[in-house]
Structure 1
């Protein structure tokens, strides 16, 4: 810390005369009592850098050299401090978990990795700060994803649906049995009909599934445009830590 304070103090001392010397150097006539106020208004002329006094040229050049030397000498120190902040065993473990488990939460990490929740929150903030992960708010949940082009908006919705075991079973059943009805899902999984209806309605509103009317039944299908997305998230969810 003392080294850093010394660096900033040195920069201030060096840069002040440098920036002052970088301004235009104006030559104005002497206005003493015997001559009165000068009526010309403004400077007589503007000098180029080569026309400045040698002392000012030396100040300017030495300032630039000083700043360059400081950056050359201490840049590795700054980069080293950043690198140390980015690398941490628990942080790496959390990042690996997020990569393999898209759409997980801090509670999931705490349960599966056995880490302290306050520590997890700190590491999640740092990972987000360094653009390693993205954070998505969904209802009362805060979902964590690898910060890359790996997951589209629709895939984040699918990952959220997969968080609930009942909804995951229903969605998987629709994928494997296109045209399945609410009644068939109820009988297959022994779930209350109203519960099935609630999950299906929510997935329909999220544009994950669609349906066709068949008499008094509704037959449910996965939206064709997201079949590959669902398959990708299903594969990822089967390899959870």
Structure 2
């Protein structure tokens, strides 16, 4: 796959060299036509060597551009025009090739950003890569279509990850849950204080018990927390799933 991209890039740059060469030839041809109109630039003098002979009756005879046959004039002008036309014709191809290179560069940048920061949303990816949000979403669509990334929708947000095979469902859920600061703070308390109760978590985080219970339910579903009951008491323990 990488080899194909390298070869495509080489062909593209080779084409640009040929294209610039055609433009140069066209400019030289046109300059020769213009300069040929001035006969003073080309002067043939008689030889100063005694007995030397110059045949000026045939092709060596001095002729102005205006004296050339019509068919030669037409050939020179039409050849130059065709060369310029062919060169101009491929300008869109050159620009399109450059555009494709830029698009691939943006797509690679977005993919690398997701690999380094799993669980980002499109706005965050746009901010980190300095790519317009609309453009970023377009490339995210193509990356997911090509199975290079996977998206997970939670509520009104869509989180992006490198291909799903790299993460279990529990790991993906854990990454998404930890994007919520309160959930992350509760999880940190449980990790640092194994067997923490609802009341202890409520006191440390500074929120009411019902809110703590709501966040813990989400952590339980994601398999990041487990419960141990002793009579009427409930203790919470951290489960490592993000390693």
CA–CA distance in 2 between the matches of 1:199 and 1:86? 43
Deviation at 1:98, TM superposition (A): 0.9
What residue is the counterpart of 1:106 in the other structure? 122
Structure 1 alignment gaps of length 5 or more: 1-80, 233-241
Per-residue deviation at 1:217?
Answer: 3.0
Of the three residues 135, 139, 151, the one matched with 2:167 is 151
In the other structure, the counterpart of 2:204 is 188
Q: How does 1:32-181 map to 2 (within 5 A)?
A: 84=100, 88-147=104-163, 149-181=165-197
Give the Cα–Cα distance (whole angstroms) in 2 for the partners of residues 87 and 141 of structure 1: 25
Q: Which runs of 5+ in 2 are unaligned?
A: 1-96
When residues 154 and 145 of structure 1 are mapped into structure 2, their CA distance, relative to the original with a 3 A threshold, is: same
d(CA) in 2 for partners of 1:215, 1:148: 41
Q: Work out whether residues 120 and 159 of structure 2, in 8 Å CA contact, stay in contact via their aligned partners in 1.
A: yes
Greater RCO (Cα-Cα under 8 Å, separation 6 or more): 1
TM-score by length of 1: 0.53
Aligned pair in 2 of structure 1 residues 185, 111: CA closer, same or farther (>3 Å)? Answer: farther
SS, match of residue 115 in structure 1: coil
Q: TM-score, normalised by structure 2?
A: 0.53
Distance (whole Å) between structure 1 residues aligned to residue 131 and residue 202 of structure 2: 38
Q: Secondary structure at the residue paired with 2:166? A: coil
Find the aligned partners of 1:86 and 1:218 in 2 and give their Cα distance: 56
Instruction: Report the Cα distance in structure 2 between the residues aligned to 1:187 and 1:180, rounded to whole angstroms.
Output: 11
Against the structure 1 CA distance between its residues 201 and 141, is the aligned structure 2 distance closer, same or farther, given a 3 Å change threshold?
same
* Paired residues of 2:174 and 2:222 also in contact (CA < 8 A): no
Cα distance, 1:122 vs. partner?
A: 0.5
- Give the Cα separation in 2 of the matches to 1:110 and 1:169: 27
Deviation per residue, 1:160-188 (Å, 9 max, x gap): 11111111111122222221111111111
CA separation of 1:192 and 1:114: change in aligned 2, threshold 3 A = farther
Larger mean CA deviation between 158-167 and 106-115 belongs to: 106-115
Change (3 A) 1:216 1:111: farther
Q: Give the SS at the match of 2:153.
A: strand
Residue correspondences, number: 148
How far, CA to CA, are the matches of 2:211 and 2:123 in structure 1? Answer: 25
User: C-alpha deviations, 1:137-163, integer Å up to 9, x for none?
Assistant: 333332211115321111111111111
* Shift, 1:215, TM fit: 4.4
Aligned to 1:38: none
Separation in 1, partners of 2:131, 2:235? 44
3-state DSSP of counterpart to 2:120: coil
